[in-house]
Amino acid sequence: MSTTIETAKRITDIGPPRYDRFLPPVIQRNYGTWKYHENPRAGVLVHVAESGEKLFTVRAGTPRLLNVKTVREFAALADKYCNGYLRFTSRHNIEFLLSDPAKVDPLIDEVQKLGFPVGGTGNAISAIVHTQGWIHCHSAATDASAVVKALMDELYPRFTHMDLPARLRIAFACCLNMCGAVHCSDIAILGVHTKPPRVDATGLSKACEIPTLVASCPTGAIRPSETRTGSVPVDVEEAQCMYCGNCYTVCPAMKINNAESDGISIWVGGKVSNARTEPKFSKLVIPFLPNNPPRWPEVVDAVTKLVDLYARNGRKHERMSEWVERIGWPRFFRMTGIPFTKQHIDDFKGAGETYKRSAQLRQI
Amino acid sequence: MTEVKKHPTPLLDELEKGPWPSFVKELKRSADKPMVNDLLGQLERSFEEKVGHWKHGGLVGVKGYGGGVIGRYSDLPKEFPELAEFHTMRVNHPSGWFYTSDALRTLCDIWDEHGSGLTNFHGATGDVILLGAKTAEIEPTFAKLTEAGFDLGGSGSAMRTPSCCVGPARCEWACYDTLNACNDVTHQYQDEMHRPAFPYKFKIKFAGCPNDCIASIARADLSVIGTWRDEIQVDQAEVRAYAADSVDIQKEVCDLCPTKCVTWKDATLTVDDADCVKCMHCINVLPKALRPGKDRGAVFLIGGKAPIVGGALLSSVLVPFVKMEPPYEDLKELVNAIWELWAENANNRERVGEFIQRIGLGNFLEQIGLEPKPEMVAHPRTNPYVFFDPEEETESERSAEK
């Protein structure tokens, strides 16, 4: 009887709250009738409606990991300056939505006093999309928040100023699962495992289904043990393993994390926008950099150099990928001084598509 | 409250320095919470050892749902007992990530009372992420969330929480109502989201224009990208104003047009719309002067994903143009047909993009009832290994029958 009453009270499958409850009146009045926008300074957008009304947006970067105490401070600022209205962007930025231009500067002052940089619009670096890393993920080959923090400390002026040739989107994923589409970023920073998994025999028999485990391997490197000698029911063909960690996700006994050999790779020249050139994947430029907590100096140095080189050499409106394609990959490697190795040449399926199949080569 | 013995964190302390906002400061604001203190301790340990200390798996969730909660356990529970259970809850965000301060405070109060007080605004799926719930707190947190009008998002082999760009709420380029479409589809498919019954995850993302601010082409199984099929709207006076001000129209607009369909002559900008591929470049550079056309809709693309398992894919064109109007019947019919085929025939952990690669786009189209169109390919096939239906009658067989 009590169960029935409990079930009756329980609310499920109500879905997300309707967004229109949270739209400021200036948006409700001008929904779908915006005419144009301007970006007068880094972190400030002005949207003008057909009606002539204006909406002012102040954008600030966040570390993604937020304490509820900080979220309440954002809420208090929204109350003071925006009648309580605010939103977040797809790149972990917060946006305050104002209708009174006189309040823009005082709001910016307070946001900055709280320690959050205003910027990330137009031809700037926006906040780095990133994953959980060692804070919360089981398959992380590196930490995420720390590398992003160390890197953005260095790239800070690129967030608060709009002085790049075009927008520059950096994304970070702590393993090949790539939560957050890092594979189509101007610069992608990707945690990598570089050794095959070690099989924990006890855990395997307790927690894993062998057929599912065998099927999980994209290269067929995991096979039921032929001899069944000893206690390990699967063999890993180590030469076939490319350390994707898919086996670890389906079976926690396939220990992929490795303090000695896990690290970070750097990828360049992806985009999702269709502007000028079609969307494209990022390409490998640095196969491995070591995990060096707490500030990952090798990664910060490598990425900062790439950004600086692009900033100096890219033409107006040219995204990272368009700059590299204009100058060609051979010159990119010479300009950066990054050694080109066997690892840069694709050997997964469809690899042949990436070979240079013409005699059109720039002067060597 | 008894005094918490704080773990020393010399390595993490280094990350309190520098101008960018510090996640360590965010953690330390609640260092008096035993859970957060242990999280700081374990993270410091990871920094010392260069390896993570989380285990996954196990079934945790709310009654009647199969998703929305991700099980997470420390592999050092003796040293960090408060992390023995430290699950993630995904809370389905409102379309476009708009909030009122009251709504945010409600979420904060619930989470402060029942969990670590640590959040992500937002996770990669678009959900509000509540990090660090003990198993016993999940159901009470869920009850408070639903009472406040919030629900959980998706996880596992299910439809994942759909998300969208800011759309017509604040963008003049939105070619359809991304917020409404996202909200509508999310509500329509609550069962498919909360009770995983698919071969693997299925993500739907709504972008209002080809700038794709939601990165739908890279990370959604079904990418719905706004576009138009008539003429770009041109305000010649505003083009001239840009030219007089600071923009070199020839160099910055015409020369960078991918199909060279924009010309600038005698202080007049002309667009040959038949050749325009709706890339958005000219509109992006001259937002006051140029706008998408008036006959607006969306292109549907299928199969985008990150590398695991069979390699990364960008979505490819499935339907070149659809008018996107409520109740979005075209979209839902297509989604239902795709799910029926894929759920029945895909292998375990095979995303729809990989499934299409395996069976062939031609066969996929046939099965879901779509006609092949040249817009779907970069170019026709170059190899001669062409299949013909062995059942199909030849010309001579047909005349013999007559």
Q: CA of B147: which chain A residue's CA is closest?
A: A11
Instruction: With CA atoms as reference, report the closest residue to B234 among B170, B298, B297, B288.
Output: B288
CA distances from A72 to A79, A95, B174, B201 (A): 10, 14, 31, 33
The complex scores an ipTM of: 0.95
Question: Which of A11, A21, A34 is facing B146, going by the closest CB pair?
Answer: A11
Q: Closest Cα to residue B43, out of A331, A293, A193, A150?
A: A293
Mutation site for A-interface testing, chosen from B25, B33, B53, B99 by largest number of A Cβ within 10 Å: B99
| Cross-chain Cβ contact B98/A19 below 8 Å | yes
pTM summary value: 0.96
Burial class of residue A358, CB neighbours in 10 A (0-12, 13-18, 19+): exposed
Portion 224-283 of B in contact with A at CB < 8 A: 252, 256-258, 277-281
Q: What whole-number distance in Å separates Cα of residue B110 and Cα of residue B138? A: 11
The tokens 């749902």 sit on which residue?
B65
**Partners of residue B347 in chain A, C-beta under 8 Å:** 215
Tell me the C-alpha distance between B395 and B402, whole Å.
11
Q: Which residue has 């570089």 as its token pair?
A: A194
Q: In Å, how far is A114's CA from the nearest CA of chain B?
A: 9
**Burial grade of A226 (CB within 10 A; 0-12, 13-18, 19 or more):** exposed
DSSP A271: B
- Per-residue buried b or exposed e for B45-69, using 16+ beta carbons within 10 Å of the residue's own CB: bbbeebbbbbbeeeebbbeebbbbb
pLDDT at residue A20, as a whole number: 96
B182 to A109, B205, B353: CA distances (angstroms):
35, 8, 21
Handedness of CA A302, A305, A310, A311 (dihedral sign): positive
- The answer to whether A149 contacts B18, with C-beta atoms less than 8 Å apart, is yes
Q: Which of A68, A149, A160, A167 to mutate to test the interface with B (most CBs of B within 10 A)?
A: A68
Q: Are B336 and B343 in contact (CB under 8 A)?
A: no
Geometric angle at alpha carbon A123, from A118 and A124, rounded to 5°: 45
Distance from CA of A338 to the nearest CA of B (A): 25
Residue B373 in tokens: 């169109």
CA distance B201 to B379: 29
Within the 304-343 window of chain B, which residues sit less than 8 Å (CB to CB) from chain A?
306-312, 314
Count of Cβ atoms closer than 10 Å to residue B195 Cβ: 16
Residue among A35, A132, A259 minimizing CB distance to B51: A259
pLDDT of residue A2: 44
Task: Give the number of A-B residue pairs with CB atoms closer than 8 Å.
Answer: 364
Spatial separation of the C-alpha atoms in residues B30 and A50, rounded to whole Å: 46
Each residue's pLDDT, cut to its tens digit, for chain A (364 residues) gives: 444 445 557 899 999 999 999 999 999 999 999 999 999 999 999 999 999 999 999 999 999 999 999 999 999 999 999 999 999 999 999 999 999 999 999 999 999 999 999 999 999 999 999 999 999 999 999 999 999 999 999 999 999 999 999 999 999 999 998 887 799 999 999 999 999 999 988 888 888 888 889 988 988 999 988 765 556 788 899 999 999 988 998 898 999 999 999 999 999 999 999 999 999 999 999 999 999 999 999 999 999 999 999 999 999 999 999 999 999 999 999 999 999 999 999 998 889 999 999 999 988 6
Bridge partner list, A38 = A46
- Chain B contact set for A152 (CB, 8 A): 20
Q: State which H helix or E strand residue B26 sits in.
A: helix B23-28
Instruction: Tell if the CB–CB gap between A215 and B149 is shorter than 8 Å.
Output: no
How many CB atoms sit inside 10 A of residue A314's CB? 21
CA distance A276 to A131: 29
Contact A22 B99 (CB under 8 A): yes
Rounded to the nearest angstrom, the minimum Cα separation between B371 and chain A is 24
Residue in A15, A143, A349 closest to B46 by CB = A143
Residues forming a β-bridge with B313 = B305
Q: Can you tell me the distance from the alpha carbon of B326 to that of B232, in angstroms, rounded to the nearest whole number?
A: 25
- Tell whether B383 is within 8 A of chain A (Cβ): no
pLDDT of A86: 98
Residue of A nearest to B205 (CA): A90
Closest-CA residue in chain B for A181?
Answer: B219
Q: What residues form DSSP beta bridges with A129?
A: A171
Minimal C-alpha gap between B361 and chain A (Å)? 17
Contact (CB<8Å) A348/B166: no
- Min Cα distance A145 → chain B (Å) is 7
Select the residue of B101, B194, B312 nearest A78 (Cβ to Cβ): B101
Q: Is B366 on the interface with A (CB under 8 A)?
A: no
How far apart are the C-alpha atoms of A323 and A301, rounded to whole Å?
21
The per-residue pLDDT string of chain B (402 residues; one tens digit each, 9 = 90 and over) reads 556 789 999 999 999 999 999 999 999 999 999 999 999 999 999 999 999 999 987 779 999 999 999 999 999 999 999 999 999 999 999 999 999 999 999 999 999 999 999 999 999 999 999 999 999 999 999 999 999 999 999 999 999 999 999 999 999 999 999 999 999 999 999 999 999 999 999 999 999 999 999 999 999 999 999 999 999 999 999 999 999 998 999 999 999 999 999 999 999 999 999 999 999 999 999 999 999 999 999 999 999 999 988 889 999 999 999 999 999 999 999 999 999 999 999 998 899 999 999 999 999 999 999 999 999 999 999 999 999 988 887 778 778 777
**CA-nearest residue of chain A to B55?**
A138
Contact B124 A179 (CB under 8 A): yes
Identity of the residue in A22, A66, A218 whose CB atom sits nearest the CB atom of B98: A22
Cβ contact, residue pair A67, B306, below 8 Å: no
* Residues of B with Cβ-Cβ distance to A74 under 8 angstroms: 101, 104
For position A1, what pLDDT does the model report? 40
Q: Decide if A294 and B18 are in contact by the 8 Å CB cutoff.
A: no
Please give the C-alpha separations between residue B47 and each of A203, A210, A245, B39, B346, in angstroms, as whole numbers: 26, 33, 21, 12, 40
Tell me the C-alpha distance between B88 and B119, whole Å: 9
- A273 to chain B: which residues are within 8 Å by CB? 210-212, 280
Q: B377 — contact with chain A (CB < 8 Å)?
A: no
